[in-house]
Structure 1
Amino acid sequence: MLLQIATVVVVVAVSAVVFLLVGVQQLRDEAENAAVNIARTIAADPEVRTSVAAYSADPGTPDAVALRSGSLQSYAQDITARTGTLFVVITDDHGIRLAHPDPGLLGQQVSTDYREVLGGREVVTWERGTLGVSARAKVPIYPPGAAPTGPAIGEVSVGFEPASVFDDLPTLLLAVTGVAALGVAVGVGAALLLRRTWERMTLGLQPEDLVRLLQTQSAVLDGVGDGVVAVDPNGIVRVCNRTAAELLGLTGAADGPLGRPLDALGLPPLVVDAVRNGTARDGVVVAGNVLYVDSRPATQGGRAIGDVLIVRDRTALVALTERLESVRTMTGALRVQRHEFANRLHVASGLLGADRTEEARAFLAEQLARGPVDFPVEHLDLLTDAVLQAVVGAKAIEAGERGVSLSVAPDSLLWQRVADPEDVAAVLGNLMDNAITAAAAGQEPRTVVVGCYGDGTALVLTVADSGAGIAPDDPFGADPGRADSDRIHGWGIGLRLSRELARRRGGDLWIIDRGGVGGGGDDDPAPPAHPHSADGGLGGAVFGARLEGVLDDDDLHRESS
């Protein structure tokens, strides 16, 4: 503000000085022009020209006494009285004063140079004479009837004293001072208004505070692991750090999210609603990431200045949870096997303890022929991998507890060993969980069929259920931000993470058949990866998944040989 006021004062002062100089010069020019015009009028008067011609023709010096009472003296005094000039002086061709305000100087030569004027030139200047400094004009007098060319016979000198020239200077000075004061007052008022406006816009922060705030903001936003998005009261994004842009999939925008409305960034409705309502949402799926978003209002001095959205990545945590769930499933399968095996040992021990040796021998022979503990899964022997058998068997036990029978598709074909059991168990377990939930909510018979196929090192999975199918207006993948679109099939974290795991493996997860009323069409542009179908006319939804590079390549080479 001080700099602005100083600038205004300097500009106004310089302008005032320049205007005063221009005004003084204008007054000088007006006085000089007036002197020239009066001198020209006198020099052109016929009587003046005749009288001066007569004195110039006389070789002697005019008599001073006669000049005091002469016509030229009387004429000059009359002109001086009427025009307010300092003096009117008339001379002959020798510079002798024929008319002068001081009668005592008549008949004497003028004190200033007159030869240039006698040469036929008009001279306008400020000079010091016997009457002091004056603005004077000297005009040549030509003979009567002669053209204003050639040698002159005398001169007329008219002068104005400085006091009369600058009579209007006080008024001009007062006007300039008043205007300058008004300009300074307007400049100071504008500076104060601008200062108040700037403080209101910056919330009272000074420029050095803004610099420190920017440095601190950059350090904090780039140093934290969470994503931060700041939105002003109009819904415009003002701050978005690199982490938030990556998690929300905004790094591909040409101009970035800054300066754009939050609604125009293509974010899921859950994120936009969280900002509008100031709430927290968990399990929001954006750009393949499972996010936790929390919106808080931001205030400054008790005034709302927008909202701050905190974004945390929970993808790794949820993926780890899914993998732990698959481990829990396999652990449950082992627990069932251990329990069943312990029961068989108790039977054998009881028979031996009762001296029923033949029956114990027959029982152990039967168990040896049957092999490991059987899971209640039809065609489970088509799955040669122990991991798949354990996962499917454990899910079959859980499904049986809910009144759902789980079986393996009779056309399943898988010879290789699973090389990455975690991802396979996570994807297959999730698909079976959703299918069991859908079948349990449907009508009898409640059935789930799982198909497993080897395609090189890729594993192809199909899971069909006897549930009600998937509504046509609620497609999988239509809204990547919804976490509970279909409570039966579990749109959201589980299936979406399974799809993400499959895509990271170079495959995908899609709907082969919606089932139910209006079902039967593909929802994903990718076709089923294997010609066999796991849907034995169950009427429910059919999901398919393909995971690349999860089967052991060595097993494939040995089988081929």
Structure 2
Amino acid sequence: MTQVRPTPRLRFSTRVLLLQLGVVFAVVLITAGTFAALTYQRLGDQAEARALAVARAVASGEDVRRETAALATSPASALTPASLAHGPLQLGAESTRERTGAFFVVITDDTGLRLAHPNPALLGQQVSTDPSVALGGGEETSQDSGTLGHSARAKVPVYAPGAESDVVGEVSVGFSSDDIAASLGPNILPLALTAAMSLVLGALASTMMGTRLRRLTLGLEPEEIAGLAQDQEAVLRGVDEGVIGVSENGTITVFNQGARRLLAPDSTADFGGIPLNQSGLPPFLLAAAAGSEYGPSEHVAGDRVVIVSARPVKLDGDDARALGKVIMVRDRTEVQALTRQLDAVNALGTALRAQRHEFANRLHTVAGLLDLERAAEARDYVSAIMSNGPLRYPARDLGMLGDPYLEAFIGAKSIEAQERGVELRIGADTLMRGHVTDPQDVTAVLGNLLDNAILAAVSGSAAQKWVEVELLDDFSAAGATLHLVVADSGEGLPPAGASDSSADAAVDASELIFAAGFSTAAAEPGVADPIAGHGVGLALIRHLARRRGGDVWVADAGSPTTHGAVFCARLPGVVSAVPDEAVPVPEEKP
């Protein structure tokens, strides 16, 4: 099949040109902004220095010092706009403002009342900005907003005549910020010329680069080249499954990272170009590469269970020439783990549905008693419900668990066990003081052990078929740990070498049972899928427990004359202590 790729709307050279112009424009814009900001700051500093010079000149005048000192001693009621508008300070300040081009020249007394101001209506009023620095004998410059607008200003003290330490007022001079911004105009033209030249040079460079690239790539657009590389990477190396390409003469042509992870995780060899029969890879690959088609078939590779399938590869065309085989290797371990967690969730869902049905029935009973005005019987019925729990599961003493996840899960399992003629019970040594914080891992481990125990009890010869589970949470300085013990009434584990699944009779059955692919159970009736057998669950839950720092092991292999196998599990970090204050204390009824 020929794959049709969409043609890009713009050629690569056009996009390079637009990108280059955009980059140049952005650089010029940032540079211009920075230059304008620095120039504006420089002009503002110059305006502040100019305002300071004018303010010092005004404040040092003897007439200003004398008149300011005289008005500073006058009562505030005498400082009215009418009395100050034609005074010597107002006339002198306005003359200075017009002569210097200042935005304003303001003179105040030692309390901040205006003695001279461009707006005569504001004379005798308090200044809008803080004069404390100048009235304290200091000088300051700033850029601030006042009644007349934003300006670069300076404030200096006015001393009494003949006394350089007695401050009788202050002089404030400012130059408008609009004048400062207007002075930026002469600097814009050189910047605009520089930007235009940069854009022209960028356009020329981009055009030359696009022409050169088209010649080097034989007219192919970058999207087309990238698509070819992506297809090859995705098909040969970009999949999670193991992909092994084998030529017609048996040589490995492709060996991706997925295949290395599943089949040779500790090897650093480059398998490309090596004959398959000399590579040291598992022998079932030779069988997969030999026939026309192979699998899917389940095999054990190290500590993993993999599914192997092989298909021939032929060249498209009239001759359909054979190119070799592609062997696909998929990891079933992760699928089994997800399946086990899904089974746990389904069990919890079944328990919740049963609780809902039972709860509805009990509500109908209470409603009927209340309709009959038999409140006492309704109260006794509710008390009995509270003492017996939300649902009567076949498993007794579920209240010993003290955790809703465990109660619902084991309760649901007890219903399943009862349907198969097995009694699921809680061991007398069960002690749960905390609550489960990771129900998925707990139900995955516990569910596998319970399923195996129920199956063993069903297939056992004991007249009374039972499964017993004990749980204990342990809180120490090292952390919280959940301990599980599951026993059954089955026949126990077979002796070493009794199963056809193992050729090594020296291996202990209590360890062999955790090997991937080993199973003591027959296939489920009606299962037609060759990859849906047994022999993975115990290996998975041991891997899960050891990943958390715990373990799963056989405490007692059991025998047909005593009891079935006893499995133990230790799961750190899946429980948490319940604070004492969080435990409700029942009130005493009168």
TM-score (norm 1): 0.50
1:502 is aligned, of 527, 538, 545, to: 545
Residue 466 (str. 1) matches residue 484 (str. 2): no
Please give the residue correspondences for 1:317-328 in structure 2 after superposition, counting only pairs within 5 Å.
317-328=335-346
> CA RMSD of the aligned region, Å?
3.7
CA distance in structure 2 between the aligned counterparts of 1:380 and 1:215, rounded to whole angstroms: 57
1:366 is aligned, of 384, 387, 412, to: 384
Q: Is the 8 A contact 2:237 2:243 kept in 1?
A: no
Please give the residue correspondences for 1:214-293 in structure 2 after superposition, counting only pairs within 5 Å.
220-231=235-246, 237-248=252-263, 250-255=264-269, 257=271, 259=274, 261=276, 265=280, 267=282, 273-276=287-290, 278-281=293-296, 284=299, 286-293=301-308
- The equivalent of 2:522 in structure 1 is 487
Q: Which amino acid aligns with 1:312?
A: R
Residue 550 (str. 1) matches residue 564 (str. 2): no
Q: What secondary structure does 1:297 align onto? A: strand
Per-residue CA deviations over 1:460-483 (Å, capped at 9, x if unaligned) read: 212111122222324465695527
Please give the residue correspondences for 1:283-432 in structure 2 after superposition, counting only pairs within 5 Å.
284=299, 286-298=301-313, 306-354=324-372, 356-432=374-450
Q: Is the 8 A contact 1:465 1:538 kept in 2?
A: no
CA distance in structure 2 between the aligned counterparts of 1:314 and 1:365, rounded to whole angstroms: 50
Deviation at 1:446, TM superposition (A): 0.9
- The equivalent of 2:136 in structure 1 is none
Deviation at 1:330, TM superposition (A): 0.9
Q: Is the 8 A contact 1:298 1:306 kept in 2?
A: yes
- The equivalent of 2:528 in structure 1 is none
Larger CA deviation: 259-268 vs 543-552: 259-268
Q: Is the 8 A contact 2:417 2:454 kept in 1?
A: yes
Q: Which amino acid aligns with 2:294?
A: T
Deviation at 1:239, TM superposition (A): 3.1
Q: Is the 8 A contact 1:403 1:446 kept in 2?
A: yes
Q: Which amino acid aligns with 2:554?
A: I
2:452 is aligned, of 408, 411, 434, to: 434
Deviation at 1:227, TM superposition (A): 1.6
Larger CA deviation: 490-499 vs 297-306: 297-306
Q: Which amino acid aligns with 1:463?
A: V
Q: What secondary structure does 2:435 align onto? A: coil
Q: Is the 8 A contact 1:257 1:265 kept in 2?
A: no
Q: What secondary structure does 1:223 align onto? A: coil
Please give the residue correspondences for 1:160-199 in structure 2 after superposition, counting only pairs within 5 Å.
none
Q: Which amino acid aligns with 1:367?
A: I
Residue 515 (str. 1) matches residue 558 (str. 2): yes
CA distance in structure 2 between the aligned counterparts of 1:359 and 1:558, rounded to whole angstroms: 32
2:468 is aligned, of 433, 449, 453, to: 449
Please give the residue correspondences for 1:42-191 in structure 2 after superposition, counting only pairs within 5 Å.
none
CA distance in structure 2 between the aligned counterparts of 1:367 and 1:244, rounded to whole angstroms: 57
CA spacing shift, 1:387–1:478, aligned 2, 3 Å: closer
Per-residue CA deviations over 1:260-283 (Å, capped at 9, x if unaligned) read: 6458746385x6654455322366
Per-residue CA deviations over 1:198-256 (Å, capped at 9, x if unaligned) read: xxxxxxxxxxxxxxx999867742233432113456766453111210122x1312535
Q: Which amino acid aligns with 2:492?
A: G
Q: What secondary structure does 1:417 align onto? A: strand
Q: Which amino acid aligns with 1:460?
A: H
Q: Is the 8 A contact 1:286 1:480 kept in 2?
A: no
Deviation at 1:450, TM superposition (A): 0.9
| Bigger radius of gyration among the two | 1
Q: What secondary structure does 2:436 align onto? A: coil
CA distance in structure 2 between the aligned counterparts of 1:496 and 1:556, rounded to whole angstroms: 38
CA spacing shift, 1:514–1:445, aligned 2, 3 Å: same
Per-residue CA deviations over 1:120-172 (Å, capped at 9, x if unaligned) read: xxxxxxxxxxxxxxxxxxxxxxxxxxxxxxxxxxxxxxxxxxxxxxxxxxxxx
Please give the residue correspondences for 1:201-216 in structure 2 after superposition, counting only pairs within 5 Å.
none
Q: Which amino acid aligns with 2:439?
A: P
Deviation at 1:512, TM superposition (A): 2.5
CA spacing shift, 1:274–1:466, aligned 2, 3 Å: farther
Q: Is the 8 A contact 2:516 2:539 kept in 1?
A: no
CA spacing shift, 1:386–1:242, aligned 2, 3 Å: same
Q: Is the 8 A contact 1:268 1:481 kept in 2?
A: no
CA spacing shift, 1:262–1:462, aligned 2, 3 Å: farther
Deviation at 1:445, TM superposition (A): 1.0
Q: What secondary structure does 1:552 align onto? A: strand
CA distance in structure 2 between the aligned counterparts of 1:555 and 1:358, rounded to whole angstroms: 36
Q: What secondary structure does 2:575 align onto? A: coil
Per-residue CA deviations over 1:3-56 (Å, capped at 9, x if unaligned) read: xxxxxxxxxxxxxxxxxxxxxxxxxxxxxxxxxxxxxxxxxxxxxxxxxxxxxx
CA distance in structure 2 between the aligned counterparts of 1:320 and 1:295, rounded to whole angstroms: 25
Percent of matched pairs sharing the same residue: 42
Q: What secondary structure does 1:393 align onto? A: helix
Q: Which amino acid aligns with 1:455?
A: D
CA distance in structure 2 between the aligned counterparts of 1:408 and 1:320, rounded to whole angstroms: 27
CA distance in structure 2 between the aligned counterparts of 1:338 and 1:509, rounded to whole angstroms: 35
- The equivalent of 1:527 in structure 2 is none
Deviation at 1:382, TM superposition (A): 2.4
Deviation at 1:291, TM superposition (A): 3.6
CA spacing shift, 1:236–1:436, aligned 2, 3 Å: farther
Deviation at 1:459, TM superposition (A): 1.6
CA distance in structure 2 between the aligned counterparts of 1:556 and 1:247, rounded to whole angstroms: 48
Deviation at 1:510, TM superposition (A): 2.5
CA distance in structure 1 between the aligned counterparts of 2:380 and 2:364, rounded to whole angstroms: 15
CA distance in structure 2 between the aligned counterparts of 1:261 and 1:245, rounded to whole angstroms: 14
CA spacing shift, 1:479–1:309, aligned 2, 3 Å: farther
Q: Is the 8 A contact 2:271 2:279 kept in 1?
A: no
TM-score (norm 2): 0.48
